[in-house]
Amino acid sequence: MKISRRRFLAASLAAGSLAFPAPFISADPNPSEKIRVGILGCGVRARDLLGTFSSIPEAEVTAICDPDSARLDEVAGKHNIARKFSDPRELIELNDIDVVVAAVCNHWHCLAAVLAMQAGKDVYVEKPLAHNQWEGAQVVKAARKYDRICQVGMQQRSDPMQAEVKKFLHEEKAIGELLCCRVNHYSVRVSIGKRSTPLEFPETVNKDVWLGPAADEPIYREKLQYDWHWDWNTGNGEMGNWGIHVLDDVRNVVLRDQVALPKRVMAGGARVIYDDAGQTPNMNFVYYDTDVMPVVFGMSNLQANDNPKSAGAHPGPGSGHIVYGEGGRLEGRRGGSVAYDADGNEIRRFKGTGGQAEHMRNFLDAVVAHDRSILNAEAEVGNDSCGWCNVTNIASRIGHPYDKSQTKAVPESVGIWNEVIAGHEELLATYDTTMEELGFKLSPMLEIEDGKFLGEDADQANALLKRTFRSGFEFPEV
Ligand X SMILES: NC(=O)c1ccc[n+]([C@@H]2O[C@H](COP(=O)([O-])OP(=O)(O)OC[C@H]3O[C@@H](n4cnc5c(N)ncnc54)[C@H](O)[C@@H]3O)[C@@H](O)[C@H]2O)c1
**Which residues bind to ligand X, rule: CB under 6 A?**
40-46, 65-68, 71, 88, 103-106, 108, 126-127, 153, 155, 209-210, 212, 225-226, 241
Phi-psi bin for 159: left (phi > 0), alpha (psi -120 to 50), beta? beta
End-to-end CA distance of the chain: 21
Name which of 358 and 456 has its Cβ closer to ligand X. 358
Name which of 231 and 289 has its Cβ closer to ligand X. 231
Among 155, 130, 142, which Cα is nearest to 234's?
130
Minimum separation from the CB atom of position 140 to ligand X (A): 18
Half-sphere exposure of 138 (CA within 13 A, CB side): 23
Beta strands per DSSP E along 295-365: 295-300, 319-325, 328-333, 336-341, 346-351
Three-class secondary structure of residue 63 per DSSP: strand
Minimum separation from the CB atom of position 84 to ligand X (A): 11
Q: How far is CA 249 from CA 99, 112, 259, 320, 337, in A?
A: 26, 26, 12, 8, 11
Name which of 106 and 133 has its Cβ closer to ligand X. 106
Minimum separation from the CB atom of position 87 to ligand X (A): 7
How far apart CA 339 and CA 329 sit, in angstroms, is 6
How far apart CA 226 and CA 44 sit, in angstroms, is 9
How far apart CA 148 and CA 154 sit, in angstroms, is 18
Name which of 104 and 180 has its Cβ closer to ligand X. 104
Residue nearest to ligand X (CB): 43
Among 253, 245, 419, 262, which Cα is nearest to 320's?
245
Please write down the long-range contacts of 279-282, taking CB distance under 8 Å and 24 or more positions apart. Answer: 279/230, 279/231, 279/232, 280/229, 280/230, 280/231, 280/232, 280/235, 280/236, 280/237, 280/238, 280/239, 280/393, 281/237, 281/238, 281/239, 281/396, 282/189, 282/238
Half-sphere exposure of 437 (CA within 13 A, CB side): 8
Minimum separation from the CB atom of position 80 to ligand X (A): 19
Name which of 49 and 435 has its Cβ closer to ligand X. 49
Minimum separation from the CB atom of position 371 to ligand X (A): 23
Which residues have C-beta within 8 Å of that of residue 201, sequence separation ≥ 6?
A: 207, 210, 224
Name which of 178 and 214 has its Cβ closer to ligand X. 214
Name which of 42 and 448 has its Cβ closer to ligand X. 42
Minimum separation from the CB atom of position 387 to ligand X (A): 16
Minimum separation from the CB atom of position 384 to ligand X (A): 17
Minimum separation from the CB atom of position 62 to ligand X (A): 16
Name which of 126 and 384 has its Cβ closer to ligand X. 126
Strands 178-186 and 336-341: unpaired
Name which of 175 and 214 has its Cβ closer to ligand X. 214
Strands 400-401 and 346-351: unpaired
Name which of 69 and 406 has its Cβ closer to ligand X. 69
Minimum separation from the CB atom of position 44 to ligand X (A): 4
How far apart CA 452 and CA 87 sit, in angstroms, is 34
Minimum separation from the CB atom of position 435 to ligand X (A): 28
Three-class secondary structure of residue 303 per DSSP: coil
